[in-house]
Amino acid sequence: MNPLENIRIVLVDPKTGGNIGSICRVMMNMGITDLAIVTPREDLDWEEARKLAYHAEGLLEQRKIFQTLEEAVAECTVVAGTSARTGMYRDHGGLPREIAPAIIDSAAHHKAALVFGREDKGLFNEELAICTHIINIPSSDLYRSLNLSHAVMVCCYELFLVAGGPSYAPPRERSSEASGEMRQRLYEDWSQMMLETGFCEPEKLEHMMLGLRRIFGRGKLTDNDVKILLGIARQTRWVTRQWKKLAG
């Protein structure tokens, strides 16, 4: 399978139909045809979207609508979110061409996603926390923020180059890559472990989990990897409970 067929472009709360239409054309240019929109606005101008889609109207009509970002990427392994802002965990982002090989590698056998935020506010921290990777597109200090459709074009172009490279061959992994649902189970178990062992206080848990997601998101997690990490968390919790009973 062409890995580009497994890549989903996810738009979170886009403001204008024109940007959606332009993105459809960009996607067709780069051989990507899976478009998902999270909470589209009721006043979106779909006629404007159709005009700007030009030769990609079919892709626009086949768009998938989701109420939450979690639903839009639930079946995806690699989820790369874009951000023009810096600070906190956004500083761990990479260039599109640095992240592209990981996305194509995953898309060779699984669904992968690129997530783009609102034209004016981008992705919120809680949305970036869902992503396994963060992409920063370098631009001039005169104006850092790219138009939404331009940002999609830059990222899709890098994916297209990697997918079409004559010497590129994705490495084979014996264990399947962990799904978003499986990773979420991992985060929930590790959250409980950190609380039960006293590793962190409840009020600091959210901050700590953002860091943990960044750590686990730097490399590919397979089903076997997650099973081992789940086993560590559950055994640690069991030992902690036994120790507390003995301590009394």
Task: Work out the mean pLDDT of the chain and round it to a whole number.
Answer: 91
Percent of the chain's residues with pLDDT above 70: 94
Q: Which residues pair with 38 in a beta bridge?
A: 12, 66
Instruction: Read off the tokens for 109.
Output: 């056998």
Element (H, E) at 80: strand 76-82
Superfamily of domain 3-164: SPOUT methyltransferase, trefoil knot domain (3.40.1280.10)
Quick check: 87 pLDDT over 70?
no
pLDDT in tens, 99-151: 999 999 999 999 999 999 999 899 998 999 999 999 999 988 898 889 999 99
pLDDT digits (tens, 9 = 90+) for 181-190: 999 999 999 9
Using CA atoms, how far apart are residues 201 and 206, in angstroms rounded to an integer?
10
Which carries the bigger pLDDT value, residue 182 or residue 248? 182
- State residue 155's pLDDT score: 97
Q: What is the pLDDT of residues 30-44, one digit of tens each?
A: 999 999 999 999 999
pLDDT range class, residue 206, cuts 50, 70, 90: very high
**Rounded distance, CA 240 to CA 236, Å?**
6
Confidence tier at 173 by pLDDT (50, 70, 90) = confident
Strand, coil or helix: 177: strand
Asked if the 180-247 domain carries CATH number 3.40.91, the reply is no
In this prediction, residues 175-196 reach a mean pLDDT of 92
Q: How many contiguous H segments (helices) and E segments (strands) does the chain have?
A: 10, 6
pLDDT of 244: 87
Q: What is the mean pLDDT of residues 53-58?
A: 95
* Average pLDDT, integer, range 65-82: 97
Query: Alpha helices of 124-171 — where are they, by DSSP H?
Result: 125-128, 148-164
Q: According to CATH, where is 3.40.1280.10 located in the chain?
A: 3-164
Tokens at 228, concatenated:
């081992």
Per-residue pLDDT, 28: 95
Domain with CATH 1.10.8 in the chain: 180-247
